[in-house]
Structure 1
Amino acid sequence: MGDPQDDDARDLASPACFLHELSPGEGGMGDLSPAERRSNIFRWRRAERERLLALRIAIPADRRAADAECIAAHLDTLLPAVEGKVVSLYWPMRCEPDLRAWFAAILGRGAIGALPVVAEKNTPLVFHLWRPGEKLKRGFWNIPVPEKEEAVTPDIALAPIVGFDAEGYRLGYGGGYFDRTLAVLPASRRVIGVGYSMLRIRTIYPLPHDIKMDAIVTEAGSADVPS
C-alpha cells in the first residue's frame, strides 16, 4: 500500500533464504544493517502470513463454527461487564472467527456496538456505531461498514489475527492499519486479539511500530499479555 510500515515489502525478487538471518545465533544478524534486517523481517512476514492463512482457510467450516463458540465463551469470561462500553467488532473475512452472534448477545446486555472503517488509505481506522440489522455499505476492499457514519472511540476493540506470539504481538494482513490505530487510541482502551490457537508462532520479530495486544483469545482460552 505504499506505507513504510507495510509488511508486504516490495523487494521480493530475492529468494526466500533469509530465515537464518533473523536469529543472532543462526546467521549473524549483527552483520546486517537496520535497513537490511527490516527488509528481511518484512519478507519473512509475507511468507509466514501466506502459510498461516493457508492453514486457517483449510480449517473445516464446522470446526470454525465450534471454535467461534468457544472463543465467544472465553470472551464472556474475559469481559464480564460490558454494559455502557463501546465494543468494536470486525467483519469476518477469509475464515476469521465469526463472532457476530456473540456481538449481538453483548449488545443485548447493554454494550454499544461499533465497526472499524478505513476512512482513507494508510491512516488510522475510525469506528462507527452499528447494531445488527442496521444498514451496511461497501467500504475499502468491499468490507461491509455502517451506512450511518456516527464516529465513536472504542473502550474495547477486537482485532483479528493472522498469527500471534507469546509476547502478545499480532501478525496482521500487512497494511499496518491496526498498529496506526492503536497508536492514537486512548491508553485506557483494551485491545483483544482474536484467532485460532494453531496460528501461534514463536515470534513475529517485532519492529518499533508493532504494538502489543492487551489479551489474546483463541478457542483454547484467553490470556492477558505480559507487560
Structure 2
Amino acid sequence: MTQNDEPKRRFASSPCMASGVADGGTAPVVGDDESARDVADWRKDERTRLRAERLAMSVESRKAAAHALADQLHSFLERSCGAMRGRVFSAYWPIKGEPDLRPLMRDLHDAGVTVALPLVEVKQAPLVFRRWTPDTRMVRGDWNIPVPPPEAEVLTPEVTLAPLVGWDRDGYRLGYGGGYFDRTLAALTPRPFAIGIGLQAAEIATIHPQTHDIRLDAILAEEGVQVVRRAAI
C-alpha cells in the first residue's frame, strides 16, 4: 500500500491520552554532516513551497480556515486544558499568511485569560513572552513583527501556540528556520503545553527530524485535532 492509498487519519489519539517517513525510507542520519546539509536544503525548499501555497489562497479561503481553526482551538482548550481563566496563554501575531487568531486572543482576554506574545529580544536566544491586551500599544520587533512594548510584563506561558509552515503526524513542526521555538521549549521549565497551528494542506510525511527538533504536544488544523501526544497541563 502506498502512502496515498492509506486512509486519512484525523486524530492521532484522544485529547486526554499522553503519549512516516517519506517514501517509506528513514530520516537522514543525525550527526552526518552531509545528511544534515541535505535536510537543511530540503527544508528550505519545503518552506518556500508551502509558504507560496499558503499565500496563493484567496482571502475568503484564508479567513474561513482561520475561523475554523479558532473554533477548533477554543473547543480543544475547553476539553483538554479546563478552566483557562488566570492562566498564561501565548498566542502569535499573524504574518506571511498565517491563520489570524487575533479575535480569539481578544475573546480569551475578555474571559480572564492572561495572553502573551513571543518576541526575539536577543538573537539566537530563547523567545521572551510579553503580556498583551486589546489595548496594548504595539511596537515593531524583529522581522518587523508587531510586539508588545518593552515595558510590558514578561510572563512564562503555561500553554503556547506555535504557527506551522509544515507539520507531520509524529508531532514535528517545520517553522521558518531560525530555531527559536525549539530553543525556547528546551529552555522553559516547566515546559508549556505546545500546540501547533497550521493548515490541513501543510501536512507533510516527515520533516526529517534532527536532534534539535522538539515535538509538539498537539497539532490542530482547520479540519480538527490532528495530533495529541500528551495530556495538557
TM-score in terms of structure 2 length? 0.82
Structure 2 match to 1:125 = 127
**Residue of structure 2 in register with 1:115 after alignment:** 117
Q: Is residue 90–residue 160 contact of structure 2 (8 Å, CA) maintained in 1?
A: yes
Q: Retained in 2: the 8 A contact 1:167–1:225? A: no
CA distance in 1, matches of 2:152, 2:200: 35
Partner secondary structure for residue 134 of structure 1: coil
Query: For residue 220 of structure 2, what is the amino acid of its counterpart?
Result: V
In 2, Cα distance between the equivalents of 1:189 and 1:122? 20
Answer yes or no: is 1:181 the counterpart of 2:179: no
Distance in structure 2 (CA, Å) of the matches to 1:99 and 1:224: 20
1:141 is displaced (CA, Å) by: 1.2
Deviations 1:180-215 (A, max 9, x none): 001011245111100100000000000000001111
Residue 101 of structure 2 aligns with an amino acid whose one-letter code is L
Distance (whole Å) between structure 2 residues aligned to residue 170 and residue 33 of structure 1: 20
Deviation, structure 1 residue 132: 1.4
> In the alignment, which residue of structure 2 is the partner of 1:16?
none
Query: 1:82 corresponds to which letter in structure 2?
Result: M
1:97 aligns with 2:99: yes
Counterpart of 1:170, as a letter, is R
The answer to whether the 8 A contact 1:68-1:98 is kept is yes
In structure 2, distance between residues paired with 1:221 and 1:25: 28
For 2:155 and 2:28, locate their aligned partners in 1 and report how far apart those are by CA, in whole Å. 43
Q: What code does the residue aligned with 2:96 have?
A: R
Corresponding residue to 2:157 among 151, 154, 157: 154
Q: Indicate the residue corresponding to 1:164 in structure 2.
A: 167
Q: How far is the alpha carbon of 1:108 from its aligned partner?
A: 1.1
Q: Is the 8 A contact 2:88 2:156 kept in 1?
A: yes
CA distance in 2, matches of 1:90, 1:125: 12
How far does the alpha carbon of each residue in 1:88-123 deviate from its partner, in whole angstroms, 9 at most, with x for none? 111100000000001100111110011101001111
CA distance in structure 2 between the aligned counterparts of 1:33 and 1:130, rounded to whole angstroms: 40
Counterpart AA for 2:122 = E
Q: Which runs of 4+ in 1 moved over 2 A?
A: 22-26, 223-227
Counterpart residue number, 1:43: 41
The 1:134–1:24 alpha-carbon spacing in structure 2 relative to 1, beyond 3 Å, is closer
SS of 1:82's partner is coil
Whether the aligned pair in 2 keeps the contact of 1:23 and 1:29 (CA below 8 Å) is no
**Cross-structure match for 1:13:** none
Question: Residue type of the partner of 2:112?
Answer: G
SS at the partner of 1:79?
A: helix
Match of 1:138 among 140, 155, 170: 140
TM normalised by structure 1 equals 0.84
| Equivalent AA in structure 2 for residue 45 of structure 1 | R
Give the distance between the partners of 1:162 and 1:50, measured in 2 at CA.
Answer: 9
Q: What corresponds to 2:71 in structure 1?
A: 73
Q: Percent identity?
A: 45
- Higher relative contact order (CA closer than 8 Å, sequence separation 6+): 2
